[in-house]
Amino acid sequence: MTIITVATVGFEEIKPLSDAGRGFTIFLIITSFGTFAYAVTSISKYVIDGEFNQYFKNYKVNSKINKLENHVIICGYGRNGKQAACALNINNIPFVVIEQKEQANINSNDKKIELYLQGNATQDEILNKAGILKAKALICTLPNDADNLFIVLTARTLNPNLTIISRASEDNSYNKLKLAGANNVIMPDKIGGAHMASLIIKPDLIEFLNLINGQGENNVLLDEIICTQTSKKILNKTLAEIKELNTKINFIGLKKGNENFIINPSDEIIVHENCKLFVLGTNEQIKKFENLVNS
C-alpha cells in the first residue's frame, strides 16, 4: 500500500483498511506530496536563481585561468584596480581580478572583466586559484596597507620570480612592503598631489607626458622594446644602422641588462640581446618596428 500510494498508481486497496490504516495512508499521502512539492521547488529555485548557471560559469572561468601563463593578478577592484585593469586591457595583457564583492556588483561598464574571482586575496587558496605559480606579476590595490603587506609576503613566498607592485597609503608602509618583497610601491595620494602641482609648475610638460603615455587624443606612444634571440635584424647593429631600416622611430633611451639607463643614446651604441630600447613614435611606427624586431 505504501508503494502504491507513493507511486500514485491508484490501484484499489489490497484488503480493507482499519481506521488506523486509513489514518496512516492519509499521513503518507500528505507527506509524500509535501516532499515532492519541496523537491520541485528546490530544483526550480536552483535553476531560476542562477545557481546552476553560476556553477558552470565558475567552472568555465577556472578552466580559462588554469590555461593562463605569464598573466597579471589584480588584488582588489576599487578605483586603482579598475585603472590597472583598463590599462592591461588596452595592451591586451591577460589578467585575473580578485575581489571580495560579487561580480554582479561591479559597474556595467566593466563587462570586459571576464576572469573574476570572488574571494579574499590574503588567502593562499584564492591566490593559487588565480594561477599565481604561472603569473608574471601581481598588483595589490587594497586600501588597507596591512592586507597589501600580507598579500605581498604570501605572493613572494609562493612565487619568488613574481613581479609585485603594491599600493601604500601611509609613508611608514613603504619600507615594510619593500622588505616583504614588493618590487615597486606606489602611493596614489602622493603621486596625485605631485601631479596636480606639476600641472601648475610645468603644464605643457605634463600635457606632453600624458600625450606620449597614451592619455592624449593623438596616437603618439612611448614604448619599451625588448631584444631577444629572434631579433636578428637588429642584433649586433648600431642604432644608426637600425635607423637606416626606415622605421622612423626615435630612440630616447636604452638599457643593457641590469646596467644603468642610457638617456638619448648615441648612434654608435651597439644593440645586443636582452637590451631594452625605449622608443617614441606613432602607433603605426611602433608596430612596424615591433614586427621588424620579432621577424
We report the CATH number of the domain holding residue 255 as 3.30.70.1450
Residue with cell 528546490: 42
Contact 219, 236 (CB under 8 A): no
pLDDT band at residue 112 using 50, 70 and 90 as cut-offs: low
In a domain, 81, yes or no: yes
For residue 23, give its domain range.
Answer: 2-48
Distance CA 295, CA 292 (A): 5
pLDDT recorded at residue 154: 93
In a domain, 226, yes or no: yes
Question: Are 43 and 75 found together in one domain?
Answer: no
186-217: per-residue pLDDT in tens? 998 888 888 888 888 888 887 777 777 655 55
Question: Are 163 and 209 found together in one domain?
Answer: no
Contacts by residues 179-185 (CB-CB < 8 Å, ≥ 24 positions apart): 180/149, 180/152, 180/153, 180/156, 181/152, 181/153, 181/155, 181/156, 182/140, 182/152
pLDDT recorded at residue 108: 44
91-107: per-residue pLDDT in tens? 788 999 999 877 555 54
Question: Are 231 and 161 found together in one domain?
Answer: no
**CATH number for position 95:** 3.40.50.720
In a domain, 100, yes or no: yes
Question: Are 76 and 187 found together in one domain?
Answer: yes
Domain boundary among 192, 221, 250: 192
In a domain, 58, yes or no: no
In a domain, 198, yes or no: no
Question: Are 102 and 209 found together in one domain?
Answer: no
Question: Are 149 and 223 found together in one domain?
Answer: no
In a domain, 59, yes or no: no
* Whether pLDDT at 74 is above 90: yes
Question: Are 152 and 107 found together in one domain?
Answer: yes
The domain total for the chain is 3
Contact 95, 74 (CB under 8 A): yes
pLDDT recorded at residue 25: 78
Question: Are 157 and 259 found together in one domain?
Answer: no
262-279: per-residue pLDDT in tens? 898 888 988 888 888 898
Contact 247, 289 (CB under 8 A): yes
Residue 59, class by beta-carbon neighbours within 10 Å (0-12 exposed, 13-18 middle, 19+ buried)?
A: exposed
Residue 194 is which amino acid? A
